Amino acid sequence: MKSLLKQLTETFGPSGYEENVRKLVRAEVKPLADEIKVDALGNLIARKRPSKFTKDTKRIMIAAHMDEIGLMASHIDGNGFVRFSNIGGVFGRYVLGGRVRFLNGVTGVLGYDRVEKVHETPALDKIFIDVGATSRKDCPVKVGDVAAFDRPFAEMGNRLVAKSMDDRVGVLVAIETLRALKSAPHDVYFVFTTQEEVGVRGATTSAFGIDPDLGIAIDVTPTADTPNALKMEMKLGKGPCVKIQDGGMIADARIVQWMIRTAEKNKIPYQREVLLFGSTDARAMQLARAGTPAGCLSIPVRYVHSPSEVVDYSDVQNSVKLLTALLRAKIDLN
């Protein structure tokens, strides 16, 4: 799994530009799924049919988003420096001195020249990208070109570090669950969604098309196990998180209890998650059509939306175990 996670995280795919990630995912899931299609917004939908359809067969949507946060060139000045707008939640405190790579292969360095305010976190409109140009004319970047953080995958013992763990680690969990799921009593749609970081757009349209009986998002959640962190429960190495609430949705209580029962029955460590901000594709599924019972399995991640997001490998492994256990058995939400 580490090799695939390295490939996924080192592939560039900001919101709206997920094509290369989708190609990689498609190659992995093609031999595993009964049906594959790409919809109008670029969502990759891999369907795993049940061996037998009955009146109890449920249509389940599993959503993991392929996109990552990024930058879009908005202005090139006379000296060739690039100003940008953010694609999703890009934070000034994480970007200074970092590198980005544009989809055309150009490398850039994120800079800020107010030396007298070196200890302050600048607003994004005060930061520029240096691509080695000396003028607007010789700048290899055009307005509208898209970039993402440029950092290699690395291992720190049992901890794995990369840009775009949000949500390539969720994509990995979905792929590995599909690989482990030789058969299931459900009609399962593994949806690798687009444009989650800019308003859960891909999940909104794919959930409308699939019209699932229930949905589960696979995403990351920030941890609270660093010095002076917010007062939350999520920690690295303590297992996948069962979301109860976040800033955009309240998980269906029946799904929460089903996930907890399954984890306990299979002796899989888990954490109860109440996130004080943010949301996931579960929100889009919950509001699809006339409404869908939805929940979320979250992988704990340190430094979310930074160029160096950190996961614990045991949490990744246990997330696959839990999602596989959830989908292998009949579902009773009573």
Can you spell out the DSSP letters for 44-63? EEEEE--SS--TT--EEEEE
Ramachandran angles phi, psi of 10, nearest 5°: -85, -5
Domain borders along the chain are 2-68+163-328, 71-149
The model's pTM is 0.95
Q: Is the domain defined by 71-149 classed in CATH 2.40.30.40?
A: yes
- 233-261 pLDDT, tens digit per residue, is 899 999 999 999 999 999 999 999 999 99
Please tell me what DSSP assigns to residue 257: H
At residue 115 the predicted structure's pLDDT band, cuts being 50, 70 and 90, is low
Distance CA 8, CA 63 (A): 16
From residue 331, alpha-carbon distances to 95, 250, 252, 262 in Å are 44, 20, 14, 10
Alpha-carbon gap, residue 76 to 102, rounded angstroms:
14
Residue 208 tokens read as 């409308």
**68-84 pLDDT, tens digit each:** 999 999 999 999 999 99
Report the pLDDT averaged over residues 1-11.
Answer: 97
What stretch of H or E contains 2?
Answer: helix 2-10
| Identical topology for domains 2-68+163-328 and 71-149 | no
Helices (H) and strands (E) in the chain, counts: 8, 17
Averaged over 118-125, what is the pLDDT?
A: 82
Mean pLDDT along residues 212-231: 92
Q: What is the pLDDT of residues 126-168, one digit of tens each?
A: 899 999 999 999 999 999 999 999 999 999 999 999 999 999 9
pLDDT at 5 > cutoff 90: yes
* 80 C-beta neighbours (distance < 10 Å), count: 20
Q: Domain 2-68+163-328 in CATH: superfamily?
A: Zn peptidases (3.40.630.10)
pLDDT (mean) for 182-211: 95
Q: What is the mean pLDDT of the chain?
A: 94
- By annotation, the residues acting in catalysis are 196
Task: Using pLDDT thresholds of 50, 70 and 90, give the confidence band for residue 282.
Answer: very high
